[in-house]
Amino acid sequence: MHKDIATPIRTSAILKKYGFSFKKSLGQNFLIDTNILRRIVDHAELTEESAAIEIGPGIGALTEQLAKRSKKVVAFEIDQRLLPILEETLAPYPNTKIIHQDVLKADVKGMIDQELGGIEDLMVVANLPYYVTTPIIMKLLEEKLPIRGIVCMLQKEVADRISAKPGTKDYGSLSIAIQYYTVAETVMIVPKTVFVPQPNVDSAVIRLTRRSEPAVSVRNEDFFFRLIKISFAQRRKTLLNNLTNGLPDGKQKKEAILSALAQAEIDPGRRGETLSMEEFARLSDKLNTEFS
């Protein structure tokens, strides 16, 4: 049996051996609690036939738990200083592969074809660096990768925004963008005490399960997302206000906007945060011809 990587003693021994210092710019916080790692992996519901894609493996603490429960793990690591460490810590797990690349610039689809061809069940499981959480999740969803879903640890406040419902203070364009592609749920809260170095905030684990079809059907997806951004531009303002300010020539076309709102059965005095995704979809289809 190999000693788990994610214990305070083993983590500190590994870091000391390699003289590793944390880079703030990379948002590095390593987990030192094996039970929490196992629970994260539980939420991914992997089998011996699954593959896991990890982002930012650090010294391999989560990678190790994924390797024990799946057919193959491919992890993207941007920090060159971690490569020799991972080579040592993951030596007992021949079913792991580290790719030294920034996942935001990587051809993830190409990697899946090359490394994970023939594996039907793919999950992304990651302890995401806080400063790039949203761009990474959006990239994975927008590129329409053949994944079942994503289980990731991120800042609790971002998790709250991702899984928020209409009419709440956390609900915004991020909630809609992610719930358009997935069913989003917060499955765990993780205290800051189980990381080194300790972050300033608590974390949460969210599970995003890919929908077979987007949550709503819209005529023009780009316009739909643009409309949502405009509707939340100034949260305190009414929908009508944001639309006339945000849409091209909106002030001149106020009548057209009012008519679209009426057709979509939406009161112009409401605020963007009260609209459900279905209402945004209806509005988007009514405004689309005039403004896209």
* Distance between CA atoms of residues 176 and 140, nearest Å: 16
| 74 vs 55: CA distance, rounded Å | 9
Distance CA 43, CA 61 (A): 16
Of 3.40.640.10, 1.10.10.410, 3.30.470.20, 1.10.8.100, the CATH number of 221-291 is 1.10.8.100
The reply to whether 31 sits in an annotated binding site is yes
Angle at 270 between CA 260 and CA 226, to 5 degrees: 55
In angstroms, the CA 136 to CA 55 distance is 9
pTM equals: 0.92
**102 belongs to an annotated ligand binding site:** yes
Phi first, then psi: what are they for 243, rounded to 5°? -70, -45
For the packed helices 254-263 and 239-246, what is the interaxial angle rounded to 10 degrees? 130
Based on its alpha-carbon atoms, the radius of gyration of the chain, rounded to whole angstroms, reads 22
- Rounded CA separation 83/184 (Å): 33
Residues of the chain with pLDDT under 70: 1, 24-27
φ/ψ of 150, rounded to 5, equals -135, 130
Q: How far apart are the first and last CA of the chain?
A: 60
pLDDT for position 167: 94
Task: Please check whether residue 239 is in contact with residue 272, taking contact to mean a CB–CB distance below 8 angstroms.
Answer: yes
Contact 202, 192 (CB under 8 A): yes
What is the DSSP annotation of 78-99? --GGGHHHHHHHTTT-TTEEEE
Task: Look at residues 59, 55, 158, 161 and name the one whose alpha carbon lies nearest to residue 104.
Answer: 55
d(CA 247, CA 82): 47
**Residue extents of the structural domains in the chain:** 8-210, 221-291
What does the alpha-carbon distance between residue 67 and residue 73 come to, in Å, rounded to a whole number? Answer: 6
Dig out the tokens for 263 from the structure.
């057709």
DSSP 4: P
Nearest to 291 by CA among 226, 233, 208: 226
Q: What number of residues does the chain have?
A: 292
Tokens of 86: 């991972």
Does 29 count as an annotated binding residue?
Answer: yes
Which tokens in the block code for residue 133? 């959480």
Three-state SS at 192 = helix
At the fourth CATH level, which superfamily is domain 8-210? Vaccinia Virus protein VP39 (3.40.50.150)
Is residue 96 within 8 Å of residue 77, measured between CB atoms? no
Q: Is 245 a known ligand-binding residue?
A: no
Would the annotation count 116 as a binding residue? Answer: no
| pLDDT for the residue 25 | 65
What is the reported pLDDT for 1? 57
Tokens of 109: 């689809």
Closest CA to 137 of 116, 154, 114: 154
pLDDT in tens, 142-199: 999 999 999 999 999 999 999 999 999 999 999 999 999 999 999 999 999 888 888 8
Q: What is the pLDDT of residue 131?
A: 81
